Chains A and B, each alone.
Chain A
Amino acid sequence: MEGTMRKFAAFALALSVVAACGGGGTGGGGGTTDESAQAPGKDVKPAAKIVWWHAMSGVNGDALNKIVDGFNKSQSNTKVEAVFQGTYDDLLAKLNTALASNAAPALVQVYDIGQRYMYDSGQVVPMQAFIDRDKFDTADFEPAVINYYKYQDKLQSMPFNASSAILYFNKDAFKEVGLDPTKPPQTFTEVADAAKKLTKKDASGQTVRFGFGPSIYGWLFEQLLATSASPYADNGNGRDNRATKVVYNNAQGKAILDWWKAGLDGGYFYNPGIDNNGAANAFDAGKSAMYIESTARLRGHINTAKFEVGTGLYPRPDAKPKDGGNIIGGASLYIMKSRPVDEQQAAWEFVKYAMTPAVQAQWQADTGYYPIRKSAYNEGPSKDWSTKYPQFLTAINEIRDSPQNRFTNGAVLGVMPQARARTQKMIESVLLGKETSQAALDSAVTEMNTQIDSYNKANKP
């Protein structure tokens, strides 16, 4: 008897493990991708209340609540309730569970790389349906932003917060070593040369300041590929048709990794690991004199750093390929199909409000994201902001100067979050000397292609 009890105890312990881990993927919900999904009729009265899930915390969260308050006061039909759901990843995971149990809200903010997932979920009323119905004018929208969120020439969602990647540099350090702070380096070789000059050692030979310290962040690699005019995935970066492979194991991909690795081996690049905050801390603390990150960090650096913060164009290959440029980042808004039509209608009313130039200008001034539409720059808050922080113009000029093509539109993949994580592992593996650059690229691509295959098999359009 005792033996049986013991066995049972062992079994129960093991059970508790699997029950704790395997809860995912409850049934129900259903849904296939329905491209003909329609917007509700124009005469549908907007619902009295809708819920909006978002992932903006801190300063950005306050700015978002300001928009919601403004909307709620501007009219009396609808009250929007904004609910913070954690990081972008958390939000998507929660949305996934909510969809299965029919508890999704009417409006959600989903990050850039979640767009194929949202499309494949078949749970979205395409934004284009509302745009077409109301003949909503998107002519003055930032082309780079709107192109990023278009799939087969249709907007599935409305861009909301947009950023891009730039080079940050320490102007004081530049002056100290005799570099011109008005001419930040632009190409791989220029960055490496400047980094060598900026690197400083103490008497014991320990490096106290590195020239360049980017974190191992997949998004940065995607941006470097785009400035190198290289595709990330096939079928026009997954935009002409659903991608079936990733293709970055090419000469451009190798050049990026070799440049990164050489800088680290030479002792003038710094490796803060995968920790983006760590890379930002190192820059603020003067441990690295340059690094690359999102424009969304600009305000934080200006507030924290004890030196003058400079911004420059994102690095690119020495040949400066003319088809290369930057991809935008950020998030967009989706209206969910599972909610009643009056809630969809109300969500659309709110989206239109959020897109007005005045709201956009205030959003820019409060956060550091740039406005989705150009007319926002004529508004007071935006003008004040640009005068105060001229560094910010780097980002918007960079994005406007980028040619619009498949490379700079950015890749769309259902498995994009995973693909990004895989490139991070690939970069780590090269930087730590575990694999040569070509071998690391090849193994990452091979592994991702298997994943894309099974994703495409399971999510038939």
Chain B
Amino acid sequence: MRWTARDIRSLGEGLVYLAPSLVLFAVFVFIPLGRTFYLSLFNTRVTGQATTFNGIDHYIGLMTSPTFQSGLVATGLFALYTVPVGIALGLVLAVLLNQRLRGINLFRTMMASTIAISAAVGALIWNLLFNPSLGLLNYVLSLVGIRGPEWLIQPGIAVVAVSVTTIWLTLGTNIIVLLAGLQGIPEEIYEAARLDGARGLRMFSRITVPMVSPSLFFLLVVDTVGVLQVFTQIHLLTRGGPVDATRTLVYSIYLDAFQNFQFGYASAESVVLFVLVLCLTVIQFRFIERRVHYQ
């Protein structure tokens, strides 16, 4: 294709319109991104300046570090515990909240209320619930004769505890998005299905799920990206422990950059996280989106 004068003019015009966002993106995304790539190839002083060129040593160090490997596992487990359960639970609750009942708006508000709670507050609430000596959770369990686990002390259970907190925090958003999706399904489709004899679960799996699949897909992508960035709950509940069980990639980056002041190494981790999220998102768009039914 040849560029005509008109094309060039319209490109120029477009760029002028885009300029504000391009400048913002450059300042807050592209320049830090470039800097991150750059720093990942250097040793850095404690104050963050690059000193000696290090090549890909940080990356080699990462790949051979048991902490990094266990961090990948922790990140994967955390995402696996959080995203599918959060979406499934959100869907079930959204379907229930989609009934036409008196006072349903009250229930909708209640169920979606976690959207208004900041992660820090939510984590502190759950920290109290999990507390081994004063915690409500184990007290309630003890009333029915169950000896509650040491929530934040046993590695396997700590991941679950942080996941439960995260699911609780994201549930509000999930419900709202799915409820909006459900309300967009035309009543005629259900009527037609009913005439054909579909009921209950069959209706749910054949009509509701496909019709709400764009919302489900949206949540899958957004929740996955979100969960890979979770910091607050981990910082307030476990600080990455016990024995690194909840030391996700993001938490590792925080520890290496802002506790250990190894900006080069932390930058290399950031780059790996970037590639990981990019790959995951591409895979999701490529393979899962095929099954999404757009109206």
Q: Do they bind each other?
A: yes
A contact set with B: CB distance below 8 Å = 6-7, 9-11, 13-31, 89, 93, 96-97, 99-100, 117, 120-121, 123, 206, 216, 271-275, 278, 281-282, 285, 287, 414-415, 417-418, 421, 424-425, 428-429, 432, 434, 447, 450-451, 454-455, 457-460
Most buried by B among A22, A27, A117, A447: A22
A295 smallest CB distance to B (angstroms): 23
B150: CB under 8 A from chain A? yes
B contact set with A: CB distance below 8 Å = 28-29, 32-33, 35-36, 39, 43-52, 61, 67, 131-134, 147, 150, 152-155, 221, 225, 228-229, 238-239, 241-244, 250, 253, 255, 257-267, 270-271, 273-274, 277-278, 281-282, 284-285, 289
Chain A residues whose C-beta falls within 8 Å of the C-beta of B153 in the assembled complex: 271-273
Judge whether B253 and A14 touch: CB under 8 Å.
Answer: no
Judge whether A21 and B132 touch: CB under 8 Å.
Answer: no
B199 smallest CB distance to A (angstroms): 37
Judge whether A285 and B134 touch: CB under 8 Å.
Answer: yes
Contact of A19 among B33, B52, B147 (CB under 8 A): B33
Additional A-B contacts beyond A6-B289, A19-B29 (13; CB < 8 A)? A6-B285, A7-B285, A17-B273, A21-B270, A25-B48, A25-B49, A29-B49, A271-B150, A278-B132, A282-B132, A424-B241, A454-B43, A458-B264
Chain A residues whose C-beta falls within 8 Å of the C-beta of B253 in the assembled complex: 21-22
Contact of A454 among B155, B221, B262 (CB under 8 A): B262
Judge whether B250 and A21 touch: CB under 8 Å.
Answer: yes
Chain B residues whose C-beta falls within 8 Å of the C-beta of A415 in the assembled complex: 260
Residue pairs across A and B with Cβ atoms less than 8 A apart, 20 shown, are A10-B282, A11-B278, A24-B263, A25-B35, A25-B257, A27-B49, A31-B45, A96-B47, A100-B47, A117-B46, A123-B47, A282-B132, A287-B133, A418-B255, A418-B259, A421-B259, A451-B262, A454-B262, A458-B45, A458-B52
Chain A residues whose C-beta falls within 8 Å of the C-beta of B260 in the assembled complex: 415, 417-418, 451
B207 smallest CB distance to A (angstroms): 26
A16 smallest CB distance to B (angstroms): 7
Chain A residues whose C-beta falls within 8 Å of the C-beta of B155 in the assembled complex: 432
Chain A residues whose C-beta falls within 8 Å of the C-beta of B270 in the assembled complex: 18, 21-22
Which residue of chain B has its CB nearest to the CB of A9? B285
Which residue of chain A has its CB nearest to the CB of B265? A454
* Distance in angstroms between the alpha carbons of A100 and B35 in the assembled complex: 14
Contact of B267 among A6, A24, A121 (CB under 8 A): A24
Judge whether B134 and A459 touch: CB under 8 Å.
Answer: no
Judge whether A22 and B242 touch: CB under 8 Å.
Answer: no
A25 in contact with B39 given A13-B281, A273-B150, A281-B133 (CB within 8 Å): yes
Judge whether A458 and B44 touch: CB under 8 Å.
Answer: yes
A281 in contact with B278 given A17-B229, A273-B153, A425-B243 (CB within 8 Å): no
A114 smallest CB distance to B (angstroms): 10
Chain B residues whose C-beta falls within 8 Å of the C-beta of A417 in the assembled complex: 259-260
A427 smallest CB distance to B (angstroms): 10
Chain A residues whose C-beta falls within 8 Å of the C-beta of B261 in the assembled complex: 96, 117
* Distance in angstroms between the alpha carbons of A113 and B155 in the assembled complex: 28
Judge whether A100 and B49 touch: CB under 8 Å.
Answer: yes
Contact of B243 among A30, A432, A451, A460 (CB under 8 A): A432
Contact of B133 among A7, A117, A278, A447 (CB under 8 A): A278
B93 smallest CB distance to A (angstroms): 26
* Distance in angstroms between the alpha carbons of A99 and B44 in the assembled complex: 14
Chain B residues whose C-beta falls within 8 Å of the C-beta of A15 in the assembled complex: 29, 33, 274
Chain B residues whose C-beta falls within 8 Å of the C-beta of A93 in the assembled complex: 258-259
Most buried by B among A29, A425, A428, A458: A458
Contact of B51 among A11, A287, A424, A460 (CB under 8 A): A460
Judge whether A18 and B48 touch: CB under 8 Å.
Answer: no
Judge whether A19 and B32 touch: CB under 8 Å.
Answer: yes
Judge whether B281 and A18 touch: CB under 8 Å.
Answer: no
Judge whether A17 and B225 touch: CB under 8 Å.
Answer: yes
Chain A residues whose C-beta falls within 8 Å of the C-beta of B229 in the assembled complex: 17, 20-21
Judge whether B133 and A282 touch: CB under 8 Å.
Answer: yes
A18 in contact with B152 given A26-B48, A99-B47, A460-B51 (CB within 8 Å): no
* Distance in angstroms between the alpha carbons of A15 and B229 in the assembled complex: 12
Contact of B285 among A10, A25, A287 (CB under 8 A): A10
Judge whether B273 and A25 touch: CB under 8 Å.
Answer: no
* Distance in angstroms between the alpha carbons of A447 and B64 in the assembled complex: 12
Chain B residues whose C-beta falls within 8 Å of the C-beta of A24 in the assembled complex: 48, 257-258, 263, 266-267
A323 smallest CB distance to B (angstroms): 31
Most buried by A among B242, B257, B270: B242
Chain B residues whose C-beta falls within 8 Å of the C-beta of A281 in the assembled complex: 131, 133-134
Which residue of chain B has its CB nearest to the CB of A420? B259
Judge whether A14 and B281 touch: CB under 8 Å.
Answer: yes
Judge whether A285 and B133 touch: CB under 8 Å.
Answer: yes
B118 smallest CB distance to A (angstroms): 17
* Distance in angstroms between the alpha carbons of A418 and B265 in the assembled complex: 14
* Distance in angstroms between the alpha carbons of A185 and B277 in the assembled complex: 54
User: Which 7 residue pairs are nearest across A and B when measured between Cβ atoms?
Assistant: A25-B263, A25-B48, A22-B36, A458-B43, A18-B274, A22-B270, A14-B278
* Distance in angstroms between the alpha carbons of A25 and B50 in the assembled complex: 8
A22 smallest CB distance to B (angstroms): 4
Which residue of chain B has its CB nearest to the CB of A89? B259
Chain A residues whose C-beta falls within 8 Å of the C-beta of B28 in the assembled complex: 19
Judge whether A273 and B47 touch: CB under 8 Å.
Answer: no
* Distance in angstroms between the alpha carbons of A278 and B131 in the assembled complex: 7
* Distance in angstroms between the alpha carbons of A218 and B132 in the assembled complex: 21
Chain A residues whose C-beta falls within 8 Å of the C-beta of B257 in the assembled complex: 24-25
Chain B residues whose C-beta falls within 8 Å of the C-beta of A432 in the assembled complex: 154-155, 242-243
* Distance in angstroms between the alpha carbons of A68 and B248 in the assembled complex: 42
A14 in contact with B277 given A417-B259, A421-B255 (CB within 8 Å): yes
Which residue of chain B has its CB nearest to the CB of A457? B43
B92 smallest CB distance to A (angstroms): 27
* Distance in angstroms between the alpha carbons of A89 and B261 in the assembled complex: 11
